[in-house]
Amino acid sequence: MAERRVTVGWSEGLHARPASIFVRAATAAGIPVTIAKSGGNPVNAASMLAVLGLGAEGGEEIVLSSDSEGADAALDRLAKLVEEGLEELPETV
């Protein structure tokens, strides 16, 4: 299973707009991805309600994971998005 531990770069955390950006990016990845707070239970990264339910704050560590083919590239892109607090998914890493 591929996994990335990243710090949430959005100052407001994964709430409202940043959560929406992240969920769209996770959906666009085309593979199942989970997200969890460090030490917490993983949830579907493509679910807005699940991501909001995490309550991940800016500066907190989260864990992204997937066991699908192509997971490393997808997780690298999602990790960059979260860590840098970007407004959209980067085309390349």
Residue 82 · residue 62 · CB < 8 Å? yes
Distance CA 63, CA 51 (A): 12
Active-site option among 2, 9, 15, 68: 15
By CB atoms closer than 10 A (0-12, 13-18, 19+), residue 33 is buried
Q: Is 15 a catalytic residue?
A: yes
Give dist(CA 8, CA 60) in Å, integer: 6
**Catalytic sites, residue numbers:** 15
